[in-house]
Amino acid sequence: MFTASLADGTLINLLQNNYSKEVLERLRNNDSFFCPDCKSPVMLKLGERKIHHFAHYQSANCSIGHEPETADHMAGKKLLYDWLCQQKLNPQVEHYISSIKQRADVFVEWKGWKIAFEYQCSTISPSLLNSRTTSYVQAGYTPVWILSHKKANFKSFSKFQWSFICDFINKHGVLLSLDTNMKSLYVTRPTPIATKQVISSQKRLQLSSTTSLTTCQRVISEVQPIITYKQWLSIKNKNRSMIFRFIDKKKYALFQNLYLAHIPPPCFPVEAGWPVRAMHWIEQPCYMWQLWILLDNIIQKKSDLIFLNDILKNFYKRVQMNHISLRTLPLVKHSKPEDAIEHYVQLLIEVGVLEEAGDYSYKIVRELLYPSHENEALDCDVKMARELIAHT
Ligand SMILES: [Zn+2]
């Protein structure tokens, strides 16, 4: 940590005033330092390898600074702090919020927002991330969680990494990561293509004196998915041709239901397997959950009229039966899993399967397209992709 109190209560912030090593050595010889939170004595470390910092003695029992801080974590806090100082925003490092007993890595007030930056270098559970976020929000803060770039993988998202997707500026959900060596903030928007696999579009922001928080906000809001329909067709093609690989319990249950409806899995209806907004809420590749929607509501229909409520009810039944699983996204507040379903219903209207019949009710106006073999499926997929592009 960078802050400690002297015996007389004066707060020392090592990131301020550009302290030289000599000055700090003198201070160390003449004074004692104490943790601002637990008040136990801390040592001032003036190493060569890490940035100058304070650390607790091993015996300390502090709720905040007990673990040895990594060089990366300190570098990240310093980078954010220095960057905000350059903008004359008067940030505070290790800002303690007593009402919730949490300490923000860097705090700044900006455009009426009280922003708590958290630079995360170690793995934490989604539930802890959620409870910390909730506490911040309840105390009137806007937490901004930034992952260490070293921890991030932009082709394969772990559960931990998914939990860092946030949407307070970009309503569709982005991952923020910080590279302390390059002094850069990365904004990544993932399009999920399987449980872990994603296609990422990314923008890099150099955190220099010419980049402001306003620039940052704009760039975050602008990051769009880069996936093209051509790319998506090749993904869909793979979904079909490799459908018999890795058959887990979820896939097995889906196959059973497809066979009951006399549909060979590689020839699943053309209408399943298209990207829709908010689909990052669902863990399975989209062809799987969309097939469940088609099976439950259209293929095994009881009447030509269907209701959104029933579609959602059937979807959650599948979730309950563990045929579909949802992601835990504690930082996503502007969308919910139901949005993915509603967007998919919209897609079914666009391709002419459904027609709006009234408020949240739809008429089934045409049969689904069942390709009779894989090559025909590919042709049909291309045609539907064209139709969908025409709608966008
Ligand atoms: Zn302490």
Neighbours of ion ligand 1 (CB under 5 A): 35, 37-38, 62, 65
3-state secondary structure of 326: strand
- The mean of the pLDDT values for the chain is 92
For position 341, what pLDDT does the model report?
Answer: 98
Distance CA 103, CA 1 (A): 11
Q: Lowest mean pLDDT of 59-63, 130-134, 299-303, name the range.
A: 59-63
Q: What is the pLDDT of residues 152-210, one digit of tens each?
A: 999 999 999 999 999 888 788 999 999 999 999 999 999 999 999 999 999 999 998 78
Q: Determine the length of the chain.
A: 392
Spatial separation of the C-alpha atoms in residues 103 and 97, rounded to whole Å: 6
- How many A from CA of 294 to the centre of ligand 1? 56
Where does the pLDDT of residue 67 fall: very low under 50, low under 70, confident under 90, or very high at 90 and above? low
**Ligand 1 centroid to 34 CA: how many Å?**
8
C-alpha 96 – ligand 1 centre gap (Å):
11
Average pLDDT, stretch 53-61?
Answer: 82
Q: Does domain 71-222 have CATH number 3.40.1350?
A: yes
Ligand 1 centroid vs 147 CA: distance in angstroms? Answer: 24
C-alpha to C-alpha distance for 372 and 269, rounded to whole angstroms: 10
Contact 299/113 with Cβ under 8 angstroms?
no
CA of 140 to the centre of ligand 1 (A): 24
pLDDT exceeds 70 at position 321: yes
For the cut 70, the answer to whether the pLDDT of residue 66 exceeds it is no
pLDDT of residue 69: 80
Q: Measuring CA to CA, how many Å separate 197 from each of 115, 192, 193, 235, 285?
A: 31, 6, 6, 11, 9
Q: What average pLDDT does this structure show over 318-337?
A: 95
Structure tokens at 114: 């009280």
Instruction: Give residue-wise pLDDT tens across range 207-229.
Output: 987 889 999 999 999 998 878 88
Could you tell me what percent of the chain has a pLDDT over 90?
A: 70
Tell me the CA–centroid distance for residue 304 and ligand 1, in Å: 66
Separation between Cα atoms, residue 183 and residue 208, nearest integer Å = 8
Could you tell me the CA-to-CA distances from 316 to 102, 290, 311 in Å, in that order?
36, 13, 9
pLDDT in tens, 75-116: 999 999 999 999 999 999 999 898 998 899 999 999 999 999
Average pLDDT on 136-160 reads: 94
Phi, psi angles (nearest 5°) of residue 128: -70, -40
Q: What is the pLDDT of residue 163?
A: 94
* Strand spans (E) along 50-167: 53-56, 92-97, 102-110, 113-120, 142-148
pLDDT digits 0-9 by tens, 282-301: 999 999 999 999 999 999 88
What are the residue ranges spanned by the domains of the chain? Answer: 3-56, 71-222, 229-391
Angle between helices 249-260 and 286-294 (to 10 degrees): 40
Judged against a pLDDT cut of 70, whether residue 63 lies above it is answered with no
Give the pLDDT confidence score for residue 300 in this predicted structure: 86
Distance, CA of 344 to CA of 4 (rounded, Å): 54
362 or 46, which is more confident: 362
Q: Cα of 109 to ligand 1 centre, how many Å?
A: 25
pTM for this structure? 0.89
What is the CA(303)–ligand 1 centre distance, in A? 65
**Ligand 1 geometric centre to CA of 235 (Å):** 51
62 CA to centre of ligand 1 in angstroms:
4
Please tell me the predicted confidence (pLDDT) of residue 64. Answer: 64
Tokens coding 165: 């997707």
